[in-house]
Amino acid sequence: MKRIKGIVCGLLLVLMLHVNTMPLFAASEVTTTIADIFTTNITTSGSQVTLAVGVKKDAGVTSGKIVVSYDESMMTVFSVKGNNIWEMEDINTIAAKDNKKAVSYAWVDSDLKNAEGTMLTITFQSTAAGAGKEVAVQTDVVELYQGDNVVSVPTKTVTDTVKLPADTTTTVPEKTIIDQIKNAQPGETITIPVHDGNTVISKAIMEAAQGRDVYLRFQMDNGVVWLVHGTDIKTPKDIDLGIKLNTNNIPQKAINAIGDDKAKYQMQFTLSYEREFGTTITVIIPLGDAAVGYFANLYYYNPTTGELEFVESCKVGADGNAIFHLTHASDYVVVVSENDGAKLAAKTQAKKTGDETNVAGYVLLLGAAAVVLAEAARKKVKHA
C-alpha cells in the first residue's frame, strides 16, 4: 500500500487504497506487535454479537487495512459502523477471507494520529445453526503504515471467540433498526433477521429508509434474502416478506406451455403479501449446487389468464443463488434451464405476433372477398 494523499475508493468486492504520489525510494520498515496498536473486544446481547476494534493512543499509524472474517452459517452481519477517527475510511461488507465472509475496513490520515478509541464496530446476528455454539471472529492486519514506513507486524491475526445464545429467534426491536438506519453511513448495509411467524416489516422502518443511501438486507429463516435500497422506496407501507419455497400452486400445464425443451428442473415459490410492494425489491433465492451455471428463468402466474408471464432471467452464481427483482407479490416459478428465458420469451412473442398478423391478413382477405361477392350479387340483381 502506498502513502495516500487522495481518496479512498471501494469497488464492491475489491477494496483498495489508491494514491496520488509514490515515494522514489522503498519505504523503511517499522517492527511492532499487533497489541501495540489495536484492541478487540467481543460481547453478546440477546441474539446479537458485537465486535469493537480500537486503536491505542500514540500508535502513530496513518493508513492501513484490516479484514474481519466470520462463519456466515453461524452469524450474519447486522450492521457495520466506522467511528470516523481517521481523515478517511472505507468499509466493504461483502469481502472474503480464506473462503469466509468478511468485512474489510481501510483508513488513511494525512498526519500521524495520536487519537485513541473505537474505529470499527460490527454487530452480528446469530443464525439458527449457530444457536448455543462457540464461534470465532478473526481480525487480520492486511496493511499498515506510519507515514511512508511499512509497519511490520509479526503476528497479524487476532481471534476472538464467543458462545452464541441458545435462542437465536429474538426479534430485533423496531426502534433499534430505525436508529441503525438513521445512523448509517452512505452505502451501508443493515442486516435484519426475519423469523417465521413474524415476517411483517413495518411502515415505520420503510419510512426511515426512504430516500436514504442505505440497503436493508432482510435475512429469512429459509435462506431467502430480500434487499431494499432506500432510494427505491416510493410508497412506504407495511410489507409481509413471508415466502414459501417449493410450493405447488401453479398448474403444471401452465409451466409446460412455456415450451422450454432444455429445462432441468423447476421450483415454485409463493409470497404471503398480495399487493404491490410500493418499491422494487431484490430477492435472492437459494436454488442449490445443481443450478450453478444454468439460467434461472422467473415467471409470474397470472390467475386471470391461467398463463405464465416472463419476468426476468439470470445466471445462477457459484453460491447456487438466483437474484431477481420484484414489484408485487404473487405465485412464481423459477425454471432452471440451459435456455435464456429472455430469448425464449422473445421468440414466443415474435411467433405469437406473427400468428396474429396472419390472422389479421386472413380477415382482410375474407373482407375483400365478401365485398367482391356482394358487388357481384348487386350487379346480378340489377341486370336480372
According to the model, what pLDDT value does residue 167 have? 67
According to the model, what pLDDT value does residue 136 have? 94
Residues 97, 101: Cα–Cα separation, whole Å: 6
* Residue 302 and residue 250 in contact, taking contact as beta carbons nearer than 8 Å: no
According to the model, what pLDDT value does residue 354 have? 59
Please give the span between the terminal C-alpha atoms of the chain, in angstroms, as a whole number.
Answer: 104
The residue with cell 398463463 is: 307
73: pLDDT strictly greater than 80: yes
Q: What are phi and psi of 357, to 5 degrees?
A: -65, -40
228's CB contacts (< 8 A; 6+ apart) are 206, 209, 215, 216, 218, 279, 281, 282
Specify the CATH number for 174-339; select among 2.60.40, 1.10.287, 2.60.220, 2.60.120.
2.60.220
How much is the average pLDDT of 101-123? 86
Q: Which of 213, 30, 17 is nearest to 104 (CA)?
A: 17
Which cell goes with 303?
390467475
Task: Give pLDDT tens digits for 188-207.
Answer: 888 888 888 888 999 999 99
Residues 239, 272: Cα–Cα separation, whole Å: 9
Strand partners, 106: 65, 90
309's CB contacts (< 8 A; 6+ apart) are 299, 300, 301, 302
Task: Give pLDDT tens digits for 234-282.
Answer: 989 998 999 999 999 999 999 999 999 999 999 999 998 877 888 889 9
According to the model, what pLDDT value does residue 45 have? 77
* Model-wide pTM > 0.75: no
Q: Where are the beta strands (DSSP E) in 115-213?
A: 117-126, 134-146, 149-152, 157-163, 188-194, 200-201
More confident residue, 187 or 354: 187
| Confidence at 14, pLDDT banded by 50, 70, 90 | very low
Q: Which of 25, 19, 23 is nearest to 5 (CA)?
A: 19
Task: Give pLDDT tens digits for 294-348.
Answer: 999 999 999 999 999 999 999 998 889 999 999 888 899 999 999 999 999 888 7
According to the model, what pLDDT value does residue 96 have? 85
According to the model, what pLDDT value does residue 78 have? 80
Count of CA atoms in the C-beta half-sphere (13 A) of 183: 13
Report percent pLDDT > 90 for the chain: 45
| Domain boundaries, given as residue ranges, for the chain | 8-163, 174-339
Helices within the chain (DSSP H only): 174-182, 203-209, 252-256, 341-382
Residues 323, 301: Cα–Cα separation, whole Å: 18
What CATH code would you report for 8-163? 2.60.40.680
Report percent pLDDT > 70 for the chain: 81
DSSP letter (8 states) at residue 129 = G
Task: Give pLDDT tens digits for 157-184.
Answer: 999 999 987 766 667 788 989 998 998 8
According to the model, what pLDDT value does residue 98 have? 86
